[in-house]
């Protein structure tokens, strides 16, 4: 199981330092085999977070990457730069980046390329809008997002699958308090798994995280579902108690 914290554009430096050391305690309080915790902090807090990571139970990654390694791209950061200061993961294709920065599937694929070439594990976020779900198009939208992104990294397949995690995040569930129904989560995760293995040639199904208003109170039900390998958590990752409750739910499910 993987429980990933997306801090987005939140926290001041001293808050990030405090929260990072709480995360270190949460990670240390479990045995190595239980749950892997990831933090996606604002890039400015790379050092703060890197200091508490052990890369066994706790690792971190960038929330976004430019597609080039270096160059005249003021204000941007490359995957290789993240890697050089200790990142092991890269978040790609979050719906807020798709909306705020008009990131397309092909650009997201180029970000996968950059992350893969930098030697990072990738968490590719996909998810449908509410009207797309209501129209019965959710699976089509999500599988097309995956296919289009992977189209950009064809020459790295099948190896790239080893380092690729998919995060299914229905856009209407992010930050809204509205969680997808467990049956719908199961169905979508299974559809993603089947699509990756049967249509995209993945040697085995990737790990698939659910994201969208996960809290301690709903985490255990979600984690108990087949094909759910953890969560990508936004709001609840900003509070130590809420986040440790989610990690505890993952541990409880793993221990059966």
Instruction: List, by residue number, the catalytic residues.
Output: 94, 169
d(CA 237, CA 10): 10
Q: Please identify, using beta-carbon distances, which residue of 242 and 251 lies nearer to ligand PEP.
A: 242
Q: Please identify, using beta-carbon distances, which residue of 3 and 114 lies nearer to ligand PEP.
A: 3
* Residue in the shown chain whose Cβ atom is closest to ligand PEP: 234
Q: Where are the alpha helices (DSSP H) in 29-137?
A: 46-50, 79-84, 95-100, 105-117, 130-134
d(CA 224, CA 221): 5
Q: Please identify, using beta-carbon distances, which residue of 81 and 174 lies nearer to ligand PEP.
A: 174
In this structure, how many other beta carbons lie within 10 angstroms of the beta carbon of residue 203?
11
* φ, ψ for residue 175, nearest 5 deg: 70, 15
Distance of closest approach, residue 42 Cβ to ligand PEP, in angstroms? 13
Distance of closest approach, residue 74 Cβ to ligand PEP, in angstroms? 26
Distance of closest approach, residue 59 Cβ to ligand PEP, in angstroms? 17
- In contact, 245 and 5? CB cutoff 8 Å: no
d(CA 39, CA 53): 9
Kindly state the tokens that stand for 221.
């039900």
Binding residues for ligand PEP (CB under 6 A)? 6, 169, 174-175, 211-214, 232-236
Kindly state the tokens that stand for 152.
């950009």
Distance of closest approach, residue 110 Cβ to ligand PEP, in angstroms? 21
d(CA 256, CA 250): 10
Q: Please identify, using beta-carbon distances, which residue of 97 and 116 lies nearer to ligand PEP.
A: 97
């Amino acid at each position: 199981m993987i429980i990933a914290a997306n801090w987005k554009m939140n926290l001041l430096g001293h808050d990030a330092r405090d929260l990072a050391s709480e995360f270190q305690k949460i990670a240390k309080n479990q045995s190595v085999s239980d749950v892997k915790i990831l933090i996606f902090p604002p890039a400015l807090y790379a050092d703060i977070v890197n200091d508490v990571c052990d890369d066994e139970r706790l690792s971190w990654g960038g929330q976004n990457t430019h597609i080039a390694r270096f160059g005249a791209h003021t204000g941007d950061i490359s995957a290789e730069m993240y890697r050089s200061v200790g990142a092991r993961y890269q978040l790609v294709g979050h719906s807020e980046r798709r909306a705020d920065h008009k990131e397309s599937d092909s650009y997201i694929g180029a970000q996968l390329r950059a992350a893969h070439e930098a030697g990072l594990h990738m968490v590719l976020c996909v998810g449908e809008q509410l009207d797309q779900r209501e129209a019965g198009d959710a699976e089509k939208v999500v599988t097309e997002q995956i296919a289009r992104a992977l189209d950009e990294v064809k020459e790295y397949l099948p190896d790239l699958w080893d380092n690729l995690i998919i995060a299914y995040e229905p856009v209407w569930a992010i930050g809204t308090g509205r969680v997808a129904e467990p049956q719908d989560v199961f169905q979508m995760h299974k559809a993603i798994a089947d699509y990756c293995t049967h249509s995209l040639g993945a040697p085995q199904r990737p790990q698939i995280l659910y994201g969208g208003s996960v809290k301690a109170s709903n985490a255990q039900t979600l984690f108990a579902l087949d094909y759910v390998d953890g969560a990508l958590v936004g709001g609840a990752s900003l509070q130590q108690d809420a986040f440790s409750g989610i990690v505890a739910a993952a541990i409880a499910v793993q221990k059966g």
